[in-house]
Amino acid sequence: MTVDEFTASLENKTPPQGLSLAIQGLWHDAKGDWNTAHNCAQEQDDEEGAWVHAYLHRKEGDKVNAGYWYRRAGKPFSNAPLEIEWETIVMSLL
């Protein structure tokens, strides 16, 4: 799936089939459903899930919790605008 296809899928009611939980989390986040996004990220217990988890807690404003998840993901704490970080993670995980 391309980034453009992923972005176009945001017009749908459900995420496309076959996506990892981390990517599903970003899909739900883009739809404004932080809780479902967080649940998806939390269920994927690896570095990709941790990266999305970190982004979500940074978006929430919980920098301490975000820092923990960035470390679990092996990523530096991001100071990029949230939209840019979202796009970066999507491009990396697709």
53 in Cβ contact with 69 (< 8 Å): yes
All structural domains of the chain: 20-93 (1.25.40)
78 in Cβ contact with 58 (< 8 Å): yes
Write out the two tokens for 39. 């649940």
pLDDT at 14: 96
Weakly modelled stretches of the chain, pLDDT under 70: none
pLDDT at 25: 98
pLDDT at 46: 98
C-alpha to C-alpha distance for 14 and 27, rounded to whole angstroms = 9
